A and B are shown apart, each in its own frame.
Chain A
Amino acid sequence: MSRIIINRRRLLTVAGVAASTLPLVGCDALDEMLSSEATARGLMAKANSLTYRVQRFLIGADSLAKEYSASEIRQGQRPNGSTDPTDATYIALRDGAFAGYRLSVGGLVDRPLSLSLDELRNMPSRTQVTRHDCVEGWSCIAKWTGVPLAAVLDEARAKPEARYVVFRCFDTMDLGLSGEVAYYESIDMLDARHPQTILAYGLNGEPLPIANGAPLRVRIERQLGYKMAKYIRSIELASDLAPYGQGKGGFWEDLGYDWYAGI
Chain B
Amino acid sequence: MATAIDKQKHDINLQRTTIRRHGLMTRITHWTWAVALFFLLLSGLQIFNAHPSLYIGEQSGFAFDNSVLSIRAVRGADGNAEGLTTLLGRPIDTTGLLGVSGPEDGRTYQAFPAWLTVPSYHDLATGRIVHFFFAWLFAAAFASWFVASLINGHLRCDILPTFSDIRGLPGSFVEHLRFRFHHGRSYNGLQKISYAIVLLVLFPLMILTGLTMSPGMNAAVPLLTEIFGGRQTARTIHFAVMLLLVGFFAIHIFMVFAAGPINEMRSMVTGRYRIDREAGEGGTER
Surface stretch bound by B, among A67-75, A100-108, A159-167 = A67-75
Q: State the interface size on chain B (CB cutoff 8 A).
A: 53
Residue B154, interface by CB 8 Å: no
Q: Which of A111-143 contact B (CB under 8 A)?
A: 131, 133-141
Contact with A along B119-139 (1 / 0, CB 8 A): 111011110111011011000
Known: A20-B253, A63-B219, A133-B215. A27 touches B115 (CB 8 A): yes
Question: Is A224 within 8 A of B215, CB to CB?
Answer: yes
A-B pairs with CB below 8 Å: how many?
A: 168
Known: A27-B115, A256-B123. A137 touches B253 (CB 8 A): no
Question: Is A131 within 8 A of B59, CB to CB?
Answer: yes
Most chain B beta-carbon contacts within 10 A, residue among A23, A58, A76: A58
A63 surroundings in chain B (CB, below 8 A): 219-220
Q: How far is the CA of A16 from the CA of B225 in the complex (A)?
A: 42
Contact with A along B91-125 (1 / 0, CB 8 A): 00000000000000000000000111111110111
Question: Is A75 within 8 A of B217, CB to CB?
Answer: no
Question: Is A223 within 8 A of B119, CB to CB?
Answer: no
Q: Which of A33-82 contact B (CB under 8 A)?
A: 34, 41, 43-48, 50-51, 55, 58-60, 63-66, 68, 72, 74-76, 78
Question: Is B231 within 8 A of A139, CB to CB?
Answer: yes
Q: State the interface size on chain A (CB cutoff 8 A).
A: 62
Q: How far is the CA of A20 from the CA of B250 in the complex (A)?
A: 10
Chain B contact residues: helix, strand, loop or mixed: helix
Contact with A along B229-266 (1 / 0, CB 8 A): 00110010000000000000010011001100100000
Most chain B beta-carbon contacts within 10 A, residue among A24, A27, A41, A224: A27
Residues of A at the B interface (CB closer than 8 Å) are 10, 12-14, 16-17, 20-21, 23-28, 30-31, 34, 41, 43-48, 50-51, 55, 58-60, 63-66, 68, 72, 74-76, 78, 131, 133-141, 221-224, 252, 255-258, 261-263
22 interchain pairs, CB-CB under 8 A = A13-B258, A17-B253, A17-B254, A20-B257, A24-B116, A27-B115, A31-B121, A34-B129, A45-B129, A46-B133, A55-B216, A59-B220, A60-B220, A63-B219, A65-B218, A74-B59, A74-B63, A131-B58, A133-B213, A139-B58, A257-B124, A263-B215
